[in-house]
Amino acid sequence: MDNITTLFNHTNATPLRCQKDIGYGCCFCDKFCEKPAELKQHTRQTHQSDIHKIMRKKSLNHYHVKLDITGLQCNVCNTKMDDLDAMMHHLQQHKKDIHLDINNHIMPFSFEGDEFRCVMCKEEFNKFKKLTEHMNKHYRNRVCDVCGAGFINDKSFQIHSQVHKKGVFACKFCGKVFDTSVKKRSHELSVHVHCQMVRKCGYCDKKFKCRRSKEKHIASEHGVRLKEIKCKLCGKVYLTANALRVHTRRDHLKERPYECQLCGFTSYGSSCLRNHMLKHTGVRDFQCDICLKSYAKKKTLREHLRIHADDRRFKCEYCGLAFIQKCSLKGHMQSKHRDLVPSV
């Protein structure tokens, strides 16, 4: 408590509670700010005398503070530093109340770039939550005897330890059995409690089955620009670290382990190979109930059904005509507006 109080009073570092869709949460009130710099300004202007309240209801087993050290500077002599430990040693030289002989429960974060980067090992993350989970690797206040992982406090360790406790754990709703309580609890929440709608929008509380659906909703309904990751090799942009990883392995490393035995076609994923095989088998399992046309893919059937629904989502920005299919809009642009759009 002395350490976090001294850091708050004698540097420009500020604590933050969490990060959600709607921004970064204040440790002292319910306010969220879109950017860390805005939260820092709010905290300094509104809660300068509230530092003694931080984590006051938490025991040492739960205690830890997320600290924004962006542009870290000593308020006593204006010395700038990038490292929190170095700043704590520096403040001790100023005879400030700093204790270096105890376990550190303060996690430092810096928000100087667009990406979430660990201040200790410089590893990059697309989500703040992933970075927070990673930060435990740099703290060994509690260490797992099974896998050797380190944790900042006892609460984080106890949550992790459930992963290693094997047994027979039955779902209280359907009786399905799992080998760990963590898997059972996850199943109960996602399948029965939330009915698979486990991703909640931070702006309107609407729930979604997957993160991608939630992010699309946030972008379209709330006008929030989604955080993107750029491929360092070709510049293509992706919304998730996993999508970038698949792109890198498929397009740059040319990993294509699935091969068609009929024509030699190769693909990165098994689903892509299955779609390819439809060209050889001619199977059309998806039939339109209106006109009885059949299609090989469910996606193609969905596109076809838009014809019957007269869903004209592709609109010409020049004359206002709308089309059901994108190819129809392209044909229209080429024939009617070629002079206006030379690149088409």
Shared-domain flag, residues 31 and 128: yes
Shared-domain flag, residues 116 and 135: yes
Structure tokens at 139: 């703290």
Chosen domain end from 110, 128, 155? 155
Chosen domain end from 113, 134, 155? 155
Scan for tokens 């976090």, then name that residue.
4
Shared-domain flag, residues 133 and 178: no
Tally of domains in the chain? 3
CA torsion angle 280 282 288 292 (round to 10):
160
Shared-domain flag, residues 193 and 132: no
Shared-domain flag, residues 146 and 6: yes
Task: Please state the φ and ψ torsions of residue 199, each to the nearest 5 degrees.
Answer: -100, 115
Structure tokens at 25: 């949460």
Residue 197 confidence (pLDDT)? 61
Its domain, for residue 219, covers 165-224
Shared-domain flag, residues 84 and 121: yes
Residue 196 confidence (pLDDT)? 57
Q: Which residues contact 212 (CB under 8 A, 6 or more apart)?
A: 239, 240
The β-bridge relationship of strands 229-230 and 237-238 is antiparallel
CA nearest neighbour of 315 among 332, 298, 300? 332
Q: How far apart (Å, rounded) are the C-alpha atoms in residues 95 and 90?
A: 9
Shared-domain flag, residues 151 and 169: no
| Residue 147 in domain | yes
Neighbours of 66 (CB within 10 A): 20
CA nearest neighbour of 68 among 89, 47, 92, 37? 37
| Residue 219 in domain | yes
Q: How far apart (Å, rounded) are the C-alpha atoms in residues 240 and 237?
A: 9
Query: What are the pLDDT tens digits along the chain (344 aa)?
Result: 899 999 999 999 999 999 988 889 999 999 999 899 999 999 999 999 988 888 777 777 888 999 999 999 999 999 999 899 999 999 999 999 999 999 999 999 999 877 789 999 988 887 898 899 899 889 999 999 988 999 999 999 998 888 888 899 998 888 889 888 888 888 887 777 766 565 778 778 787 877 777 877 877 787 777 667 788 889 888 877 778 888 888 888 888 888 888 888 888 888 888 888 888 888 888 888 888 888 888 888 888 888 888 888 888 888 888 888 888 888 888 888 877 765 53
- Provide Rg for the chain, Cα atoms: 27
The CATH number for 218's domain is 3.30.160
Residue 162 confidence (pLDDT)? 86
Shared-domain flag, residues 133 and 189: no
| Residue 238 in domain | no
The β-bridge relationship of strands 106-109 and 65-68 is parallel
Shared-domain flag, residues 148 and 14: yes
| Residue 338 in domain | yes
Q: How far apart (Å, rounded) are the C-alpha atoms in residues 264 and 284?
A: 23
Question: What's the whole-model pTM score?
Answer: 0.62
Shared-domain flag, residues 107 and 209: no
* 226, 238 contact by CB (below 8 A): no
- Alpha helices, DSSP H, located in 126-171: 128-135, 154-161
| Residue 172 in domain | yes
Shared-domain flag, residues 10 and 148: yes
Residues paired with 76 in a beta bridge: none
| Residue 93 in domain | yes
- Sign of the Cα torsion 148, 149, 150, 153 reads negative
Shared-domain flag, residues 115 and 197: no
Please give the helix or strand (H or E) that residue 23 lies within, else none: strand 23-25
| Residue 334 in domain | yes
Chosen domain end from 155, 173, 194? 155
| Residue 216 in domain | yes
Q: In what order do the strands lie in the sheet with 65-68?
A: 14-16, 65-68, 106-109
What is the DSSP-derived secondary structure letter of residue 191?
I
